Structure 1
Amino acid sequence: MGDELDRAVALLGPLEGRVMRAVWTGQVDEEFVVRDVLRLMPELAYTTVMTTLRRLAEKELLTSRAQPGRKAHEYRVAGAPGEYLATASAREAADVVERYGDAALAAFAARLADLTPEQRRRLEDLAR
């Protein structure tokens, strides 16, 4: 998970990355609230952590549900770092093709032609 974790965290902003690294590595319980994250990052303001968790939920990295009878929300991780990488890369690839059209497809095809046999095997495994 180390390489995938580092790649996934690098796609996020500094604070979002810190929070997701803590979540993905189990530094908080499976279900957690703002205060649980705040214990790990006491230098941050409660509202900063709350806003960050809300944004991560909007990005679908976390799920959120209101706690009955309280204003607080309970959060859970929505998926593993590899799942986030797959979703983010698919979205970015679609954006590149939309922006550059056939030139992007030609660049992807050229990149595929340059793959080593090991990279081709891994790509075939991933495609299955």
Structure 2
Amino acid sequence: MKKHTWEPLGTLESAVMKVVWSQSPITAREVCDRMTGREERAYTTIMTTMDRLHRKGLLEREKDGLAWRYTPALSQPEFEKALADALAADILQSHGETALAAFVDAAADVDESLLDRLTQLIAARRRGRR
């Protein structure tokens, strides 16, 4: 798969991907049937959303009779990592030193052990590993 710069997903796209990540391969009809409550949408809306996710490179598909059967192009953790990488790179490129200080402050505010993990990740990166 070609390298993408991923964008955050919209509410409906996130709901669809959550279903696909949990139960694939899957058709648009099956996704529609599994979405309830506030997530519930018309079949054509789900079908259009899944086609858009396919064009964005997040879903792969194969013809199954008259329908498409979709699978995720990335696992949920892979997508979250790629999205976080792209967002972090954008923030660091735009805000440099200020962004670094904000990451450190945020890590300390969330959980002090994240600072230790940040130190380990920096050391590993300097050694050429991730």
Which residue of structure 2 lines up, in the alignment, with residue 6 of structure 1? none
Change (3 A) 1:69 1:82: closer
Q: Is 2:77 the partner of 1:82?
A: yes
Structure 2 stretches of 5 or more lacking a match? 1-7, 125-129
SS at match of 1:73: strand
Change (3 A) 1:61 1:33: same
- State TM-score, norm by structure 2: 0.62
Change (3 A) 1:53 1:101: same
Which residue of structure 2 lines up, in the alignment, with residue 98 of structure 1? 93
Shift of 1:47: 2.0
SS at match of 2:26: coil
Which residue of structure 2 lines up, in the alignment, with residue 19 of structure 1? 16
SS at match of 1:97: helix
Shift of 1:76: 0.2
Shift of 1:95: 1.2
CA distance in 2, matches of 1:24, 1:89: 18
Deviates more, 1:31-40 or 1:82-91: 31-40
Shift of 1:101: 3.7
CA distance in 2, matches of 1:54, 1:45: 14
Structure 1 stretches of 5 or more lacking a match? 1-10
Identity %: 39
Change (3 A) 1:41 1:107: closer
Change (3 A) 1:58 1:121: farther
CA contact (8 A) 2:21 2:72 kept: yes
Change (3 A) 1:62 1:96: same
Q: Is 2:30 the partner of 1:36?
A: yes
Which residue of structure 2 lines up, in the alignment, with residue 46 of structure 1? 43
Residue correspondences, number: 111
CA distance in 1, matches of 2:53, 2:79: 12
